[in-house]
Amino acid sequence: MMLSNKPKIAKGIKVLELSFMGRKINPTLIWDNENVVLVDTGFPGQLQEIRIAMDEAGIPFSKLSKVIITHQDFDHIGGLSEILKASDHKIEVITHEEEKPFIEGKKPLLKMTPERLAGMFGALPDEKRKEAEAKFLESLTSQVDKTVDDGEVLPYCGEITVIYTPGHTPGHICLYLNQYKTLVTGDALNVVDGELVGPNPQFTPLLDTAKTSLKKLTQYDVETVICYHGGIFNDNVAQRLVELANE
């Protein structure tokens, strides 16, 4: 694993760039005088990289107070249980109500199929494979403390508006950072070769629903977009959002 850090968009926001097996992902760190919020948590085993990135932003891990999960996918919740266990204080976990049972392990993660697990652990003998799969799935389970719904405004870091954008998963959310005119998109949008594009069809079971959800994003005054896959996009954002919503 390697780590580099993209520049802050503004004081109070830092886009983290983590790398795992050749894949880059971008959790977002947001803070003010009272709260430090991490949006999504990377893959399992990336706690140290997150700690380092927070230190470089001047925000020690010990100040982390909230984690917002945009959706249940493995690369977004993989580090959550490690973060919670490593903290010496309570960290509030926030997500959409439809994602809660998946994150808490009451429902199986939709995309962590038997075939996908077999690809990860299939080389092991049968008994050890089942044990490894069970431990892995247990490691992805964490308690959710607060659920949010469409349009809810969280009173942290200059206010964060929740935008319910189902399709990629049933309870996928984007976050509009009101103070910064910045949109954190989870996997609703991606940046590929410098261009803002829609959800990845390969990993979006309800693609039509996900595309319809993009229309909601045009209602906000967005100057900067942060995509979990691809990072920052700030080139004529409003126009590009309208184009994507109308495709």
Amino acid identity, position 50: I
CA distance 96 to 174: 10
Q: Which helix (H) or strand (E) holds 182?
A: strand 182-184
Burial per residue of 159-195, b for 16 or more beta-carbon CB atoms within 10 angstroms, e otherwise? ebbbbbbbbbbbbbbbbbbbebebbbbbbbbbbeeee
Q: Report the pLDDT value the prediction gives residue 8, as an integer from 0 to 100.
A: 54
Query: Please, which residues bridge with residue 5 across strands?
Result: 16
CA distance 30 to 159: 11
- Domains of the chain: residue spans and CATH: 2-105+140-246 (3.60.15.10)
User: Phi, psi at residue 173, to the nearest 5°?
Assistant: -130, 150
Per-10-residue mean pLDDT of the chain, 247 residues long, equals: 48 92 92 97 95 94 98 96 97 98 96 82 79 84 98 98 98 98 98 97 96 98 97 96 96
Q: Report the pLDDT value the prediction gives residue 23, as an integer from 0 to 100.
A: 84
Q: Report the pLDDT value the prediction gives residue 5, as an integer from 0 to 100.
A: 40
Q: Report the pLDDT value the prediction gives residue 7, as an integer from 0 to 100.
A: 47
Q: Report the pLDDT value the prediction gives residue 112, as an integer from 0 to 100.
A: 87
Amino acid identity, position 65: S
Q: Report the pLDDT value the prediction gives residue 6, as an integer from 0 to 100.
A: 46
Burial label for 221, CB within 10 Å (0-12, 13-18, 19+), is: exposed
Q: Report the pLDDT value the prediction gives residue 138, as an integer from 0 to 100.
A: 87
* 8 A C-beta contact, residue 111 and residue 119: no
How many angstroms separate the Cα of 228 from the Cα of each of 17, 125, 155? 9, 35, 23
Q: Report the pLDDT value the prediction gives residue 131, as an integer from 0 to 100.
A: 81
pTM of the model: 0.93
